[in-house]
């Protein structure tokens, strides 16, 4: 899809230089940058949702499971 965006001159110049250095098109650079930005914020969103869940519910391990894990680790060391 074609789209038009406005960028500050300095960012545009840096983007042009980066695209040339990487031997990719400006479109490829922008698409990659946007995809990385969206992926990063999606991860933030997952963390945020997990924090909400664990703020309402106890996240401690069951004591029996915790003991079993400790005993297993102790045997290995």
Q: What does the domain layout of the chain look like in residue ranges?
A: 9-76
Q: What is the DSSP code (8-state) at residue 42?
A: H
Write down the pTM of the prediction: 0.56
Measure CA of the first residue to CA of the last residue in the chain; give whole Å: 57
CB 56 within 8 A of CB 50: no
Share of the chain above pLDDT 70, in %: 96
CB 33 within 8 A of CB 18: no
Summarize pLDDT for 40-68 with one digit per residue, the tens. 878 778 888 888 888 887 777 888 998 88
Q: How confident is the model at residue 34 (pLDDT cuts 50, 70, 90)?
A: very high
């Amino acid at each position: 899809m074609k789209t038009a965006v406005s960028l500050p001159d300095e960012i545009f110049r840096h983007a042009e230089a980066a695209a040339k250095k990487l031997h990719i098109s400006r479109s490829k650079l922008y698409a990659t940058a946007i995809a990385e930005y969206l992926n990063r914020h999606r991860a933030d969103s997952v963390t945020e949702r997990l924090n909400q869940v664990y703020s309402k519910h106890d996240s401690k391990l069951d004591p029996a499971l915790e003991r079993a894990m400790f005993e297993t680790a102790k045997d290995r060391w």
